Structure 1
Amino acid sequence: MEITLDKHSANQALIKIKLNEADYQPKVDAKLKDYAKKAAIKGFRPGKAPVSMVKNIYGMSVLVDEINSILSESLNNYLKEQTFRILGEPLPVEKEDNSIDWKAQKDFDFEYKIGFVESVELPLDNKTKGTKYSIKVDDKLVNETIDNLKSQYGESTNPEVSEAGDNIYGDLKVIDGNFSKTLSLPTSKLSKKLAAKFIGISKEAVVEFEAKEVKKDEWSEAFGLSAEEAAEAKGAFTFTVKNINRTAEAELNQEFFDKIFGPDQVKSLEEFTEKVRETLQSSYDRESKVFTEEELKKVLVEKAKIDLPDTFLKEWLIRANDGKVTEEDVEKEYPIYANQLTWSLISNQIAKDNGIQAEHADVIEKTKEMIREQFASSGLGAQLEASMDVFVDNYLKGNEGQNYMNMLTSVQNDKVLAFVQEKIDLKEKNISIDEFKELLEK
């Protein structure tokens, strides 16, 4: 057997495997003899058929199976000996139909495409700059949240005549055209001038207005139109009122406090306000942590400058998915895949170089945290903790064990990112909610 490697670029190569008769025939003969001992062939007692007859019947399939087995084992062993890191799976170079004469050939040549990276090098020191974002919840957000809760838990009524802030349910129609849509229109999200047309009206009233009176964002935020529908919104419209919905704000009393946080969790307006602030801060702390880590990944991916075998990986993704994706699908999604693959290479290398390992106990604890977050607002705290081990076990066994592997990878990423933040020049930056939203939109 002869195996050669032809590196035709910095990250792609061709592996050539040449087999001669001595490489496979002994195994083929042994397998045929074993078949002969067990074969039940008409006219012969079980195991008494001549090997020559068994060879005529099974020889071709045994030959193909043994050669494929030899190829697979030899290729895997060869790749394990290499210093570079294989990406995806080797792709057999497809030969023309009938290019292999299994009956007559004694020597066989096979070729495989591979994609790889030679090494991943990423020194972690103060030359690498990163930012740790911290979002500060201010009084404005706390007050807005309380106002929203008062509206959400307030009493709903259906008055005869509308007032400012009501939701008007009805039919929107364009006068010159076929467009129509039934919707609930929150007047609080309209400009003062347009909202005035919907104040002081009753059921079955018809409001007329021009598309130019509606601001661009109002088409989606108030009327609920899609981007395509908003782009086509022109000319005169009518809105026929079917119902008027009004929500009276809930009173800030003990009943309200109990609805939000559970019985007797807070017992005064001051405690309620502080609890809202703590809840918001906890939520934004998680969001800022995720955002910090994603931004840090971008920094490390850019610094590592890993040259992926893009052409090979795109072909591998198409062939590995066996007709389930098209070239267009791969081209569209490839940048996301490439970024995730690059980060995976970086994370694994940092973990290897620094002895970072995800332990089973870490997986269990992270899964518990995830489940607690999912049930945070359910009010089932005590019951949840009592059955936590069952929840954890069911989740980690789900998806044929893939949930466990995903959580293991997540734990390793957490540890790697925590390690990275200790080693690089990480500056803390306090930002407002509005600044955070602006960063997300970039």
Structure 2
Amino acid sequence: MATVTRESIGTLHDTITVKLEKGDYMPAFEKSLKQYAKTASIPGFRKGMVPAGMVRKMYGPSVFNDEVIRVASRQLEDYMKNEKIAIFAQPMLLPVNTKLDMNAPTDVDFAFEVGLKPEFDVESVIKGANLDRYKINISDGMIEDELGRIKRRYGKVDEQTEVTAKDNIIYSEYVACDADGNAAADAKKIEDTEELSKMPARLQDMLMGKGPGTSVVIRPVDVCTEEELTAFLKDPLKAGAEAAEQHYKMTLTKVGHLIPAEMDSELFEKVFPNRNVTNAEEFMTNLRNDLGVEFARLTGERLQNEMFELLVHNVQIELPVPFLKRWMREGGEKRRTAEEVDAEFGSFDHQLRWQLISDKLMQENGIEVSLDEIKTDIKVRVLAYFGLTTEQEDEAPWMESYLTKMLKDEKMMDETYRRLLFGKLFAFLETKFAITDKEIGEEQFFQLADAHATHHHHHHAH
């Protein structure tokens, strides 16, 4: 009779030993071998007519090994089911000392290492926390700035004979050269289009009053202040710090005067297609609402990050670290070295804690996503892409066949499933945490420390 014993070798780290007698596995082995004899195809013999001795000799050893391990694994599974043991990943088999020999069957011990899932408490961490939900105030100034940006973006450019004002658009090309402006024959020309006011101040002075066709030889370090230098090297020059002393020949190819777009139906349609915006007032309302939606998305994401970081760092969870490291070394597709495991363990630990916490919350609160919800979500998003609502689905007769195709796209299905699932989880958490609403200005909001930093300092020691 097979026996199973269990002993602890560390925190949440056990070995489970399955002891097999030959009577536990020989019948299964003989039966498998008979199956083999029926199907084995060996040249010179008709199917199913291969002599048993020959089958045993050719296939016996590998069938024997497979059967013994299969019987041991089944015993282990039954034991874990009966004892209700929840484990991480899968059991890791320890090296077997007994030699497996079908001609001399004996008792065999299989020892498996397992990492046990911990019990932990999420409730009290949620109860003890207080989070802020920000609402960004949309000032009239912000709307004016946004409107100015839009008018410039959709404006048109009139060509000019010379540079006359800060808001002129400068079309130019840069090429690396020597101090006299001689460039190598194969030197790469870098094209740039930029509003004059965005250029280094000294360069602006050099260009004022100049017309297309003019060239100047410059060194970034001469025309830039320290603050301007990094940005100028990166764009337009697309170069590193080593280029600061390099000479460049800059040639003005065209000067444009930007005429901002008018507030007319053409602009309304370009900025808000399919919304039937008819006047400036409606345009401004749409602008304000869209900005509100975008800010709500940003502040919502921040709240989610805060909930995530708070739970991951404050819920006390003991983990079987030595087991998990062994599993990372040997259990994955590719084997890792101990150094690789140590380097990756921090982020693995973070993910694992979140997985345990989120699984527990979803299980205990019945949070799940159905196939229908996934289909509906994909449908809504695809329609929105074409500017349609669900009411206008008749205008997309191809939708059914598109959905059928999407349901076979595992990556898309998985991403949609996870997004909806965690969306529901966070919506649920918002009803559980104490949350204070706070109004905040746009600048202040973007200056807040990120959620990770906020909660990281009271991380418990592992």
Give matches, 1:200-349, under 5 Å. 200-201=209-210, 202-211=212-221, 213-215=223-225, 218-219=228-229, 221-225=231-235, 229-235=239-245, 237-241=247-251, 243-244=253-254, 246=256, 247-262=258-273, 265-323=276-334, 331-349=342-360
Alignment-mate amino acid for residue 192 of structure 2: S
Asked if 1 retains the 8 angstrom alpha-carbon contact of 2:92 and 2:327, the reply is yes
Residues of 1 paired with 2:206 and 2:83: CA distance? 75
Alignment-mate amino acid for residue 303 of structure 1: N
Shift of 1:78: 3.2
Count of matched residue positions in the alignment of Structure 1 and Structure 2: 435
- Secondary structure (helix, strand or coil) at the match of 1:85 reads coil
Asked if 1 retains the 8 angstrom alpha-carbon contact of 2:221 and 2:229, the reply is no
Residues of 2 paired with 1:133 and 1:359: CA distance? 32
Shift of 1:372: 5.2
TM-score computed with the length of structure 1 as normaliser: 0.83
Q: Which residue of 2 aligns with 1:136?
A: 137
Asked if 2 retains the 8 angstrom alpha-carbon contact of 1:128 and 1:424, the reply is yes
1:74 aligns with 2:75: yes
Alignment-mate amino acid for residue 30 of structure 1: K
Alignment-mate amino acid for residue 293 of structure 1: Q
Q: Which residue of 1 aligns with 2:118?
A: 118
1:435 aligns with 2:438: no
Alignment-mate amino acid for residue 156 of structure 2: E
- Residues 162 and 87 (structure 1 numbering): CA distance in 2 closer, same or farther, change over 3 Å? farther
Residues of 2 paired with 1:395 and 1:261: CA distance? 29
Alignment-mate amino acid for residue 300 of structure 1: L
Asked if 1 retains the 8 angstrom alpha-carbon contact of 2:152 and 2:259, the reply is yes
Q: Which residue of 2 aligns with 1:171?
A: 174
- Residues 425 and 47 (structure 1 numbering): CA distance in 2 closer, same or farther, change over 3 Å? same
Asked if 1 retains the 8 angstrom alpha-carbon contact of 2:176 and 2:247, the reply is yes
Shift of 1:168: 3.5
Alignment-mate amino acid for residue 206 of structure 1: V
Asked if 2 retains the 8 angstrom alpha-carbon contact of 1:156 and 1:245, the reply is no
Shift of 1:53: 2.9
Shift of 1:42: 6.2
Residues of 1 paired with 2:340 and 2:445: CA distance? 32
Q: Which residue of 1 aligns with 2:413?
A: 404
Residues of 2 paired with 1:7 and 1:433: CA distance? 55
Alignment-mate amino acid for residue 167 of structure 1: I
- CA offset digits 1:249-301 (Å, max 9, x no partner): 22222211111112672122221111111111112212221221111111112
- Secondary structure (helix, strand or coil) at the match of 2:145 reads helix
- Residues 251 and 128 (structure 1 numbering): CA distance in 2 closer, same or farther, change over 3 Å? same
Asked if 1 retains the 8 angstrom alpha-carbon contact of 2:214 and 2:252, the reply is yes
Asked if 2 retains the 8 angstrom alpha-carbon contact of 1:11 and 1:116, the reply is yes
Give matches, 1:84-103, under 5 Å. 84-93=85-94, 100-102=99-101
Q: Which residue of 1 aligns with 2:373?
A: 362
Aligned-residue CA RMSD (Å): 3.6
Residues of 2 paired with 1:264 and 1:32: CA distance? 73
Q: Which residue of 1 aligns with 2:66?
A: 65
Q: Which residue of 1 aligns with 2:36?
A: 35
- Secondary structure (helix, strand or coil) at the match of 1:234 reads helix
Residues of 2 paired with 1:430 and 1:90: CA distance? 51
Residues of 2 paired with 1:71 and 1:157: CA distance? 82
Residues of 1 paired with 2:449 and 2:255: CA distance? 34
Shift of 1:221: 4.4
- CA offset digits 1:161-214 (Å, max 9, x no partner): 335232343115375899977241523323534432333333341242442653
Asked if 2 retains the 8 angstrom alpha-carbon contact of 1:211 and 1:237, the reply is no
- Secondary structure (helix, strand or coil) at the match of 1:357 reads coil
Residues of 2 paired with 1:84 and 1:300: CA distance? 25
Residues of 1 paired with 2:383 and 2:343: CA distance? 36
Q: Which residue of 2 aligns with 1:182?
A: 190
Alignment-mate amino acid for residue 27 of structure 1: A
Q: Which residue of 1 aligns with 2:9?
A: 8
Residues of 2 paired with 1:255 and 1:130: CA distance? 44
Residues of 2 paired with 1:263 and 1:45: CA distance? 73
Alignment-mate amino acid for residue 340 of structure 1: Q
Shift of 1:226: 11
Asked if 2 retains the 8 angstrom alpha-carbon contact of 1:197 and 1:207, the reply is no
Residues of 2 paired with 1:83 and 1:245: CA distance? 76
Shift of 1:422: 1.6
- Secondary structure (helix, strand or coil) at the match of 2:90 reads strand
